[in-house]
Amino acid sequence: MSQVASSLLQPERTALVVVDLQEKLMPAIESRERVLRNSLLLLKLAEVLKLPVLLTTQYKKGLGEILPEVRAAAPGAVPLDKVAFGCFGDPAFAERLRGLGRDQLLVTGVEAHICVCQTVLGGLDKGYTVHVASDAVGSRTGENRAVGLARMERAGALVSSAEMALYELLGRSDRDAFKQILPLLKA
């Protein structure tokens, strides 16, 4: 089994990348409630485990600000506005990520077949191990979401779910972090 295929997420190696959860874009996303709920769950985990969070917007002037609940869940993160669809098409994103010293990315956001996919492909191209929380990404149509997830997986991304990522990053049930997150899993 390859090193990448068996690579578990590790807190000290992981950065959470939340792509374009914006006010004018989210109403058009199929299953947006699921995408938002699972992205917020991962943001809470990032807070508990002190994972760095990168928030992006796609052309904020046209698509609006990041959803208020996402901003509230990542108070220390300074959103990066981009016009490139993939985050790695923006030099400021790549520079900010390099400065974190992380080699694993956990990606959530929209749209799965455009900005998320191009971000994931860019991360893979730069040598990152990229995990995609499939239930925390969305597109305007289910078909485009499925095509995007399949393309990312074929390219080498590790496609799982928010809960899988959460349990990998927690690692154990006897940690204080697990006790903090457990009530959210029962909700």
pLDDT tens figures, 91-136: 999 999 999 999 999 999 999 999 999 999 999 999 999 999 999 9
Predicted structure pTM score: 0.95
Query: What pLDDT is recorded for position 4?
Result: 57
Cβ burial 154-167 (10 Å sphere, 16+ → b, else e)? eebbbbbebebbbb
Mean pLDDT of the chain: 94
Interval 21-30: pLDDT, tens: 999 999 999 9
Quote the tokens at residue 14. Answer: 């992981």
Q: What integer is the mean pLDDT of 58-78?
A: 96
Quote the tokens at residue 148. Answer: 């995007």
Q: Which residue has the tokens 């697990």?
A: 178
Query: What pLDDT is recorded for position 1?
Result: 37
Q: What angle do CA 49, 52, 53 make, to 5 degrees?
A: 110
Q: Is 118 exposed, middle or buried (0-12, 13-18, 19+ CB in 10 A)?
A: buried
Interval 30-47: pLDDT, tens: 999 999 999 999 999 999
Cβ pair 63, 157 in contact under 8 A: no
Query: What pLDDT is recorded for position 5?
Result: 55
Q: What integer is the mean pLDDT of 163-178?
A: 91
What's the Cα-to-Cα distance from 180 to each of 44, 46, 60, 185, rounded to whole Å?
9, 12, 33, 10
Per CATH, the number for 11-186 is 3.40.50.850
Task: Report the alpha-carbon distance of residue 151 to residue 172 in Å, rounded.
Answer: 32
Q: What integer is the mean pLDDT of 167-175?
A: 90
Q: What integer is the mean pLDDT of 53-60?
A: 97
Q: What integer is the mean pLDDT of 70-94?
A: 96
Query: What pLDDT is recorded for position 69?
Result: 98
Query: What pLDDT is recorded for position 42?
Result: 97
Does residue 2 register a pLDDT over 70?
A: no
Cβ within 8 Å of residue 124, ≥6 positions away: 130, 155, 156, 157
Query: What pLDDT is recorded for position 182?
Result: 80
Task: Report the alpha-carbon distance of residue 19 to residue 58 in Å, rounded.
Answer: 8
Interval 98-110: pLDDT, tens: 999 999 999 999 9
Q: In what order do the strands lie in the sheet with 129-138?
A: 80-82, 53-58, 14-19, 104-110, 129-138, 158-160
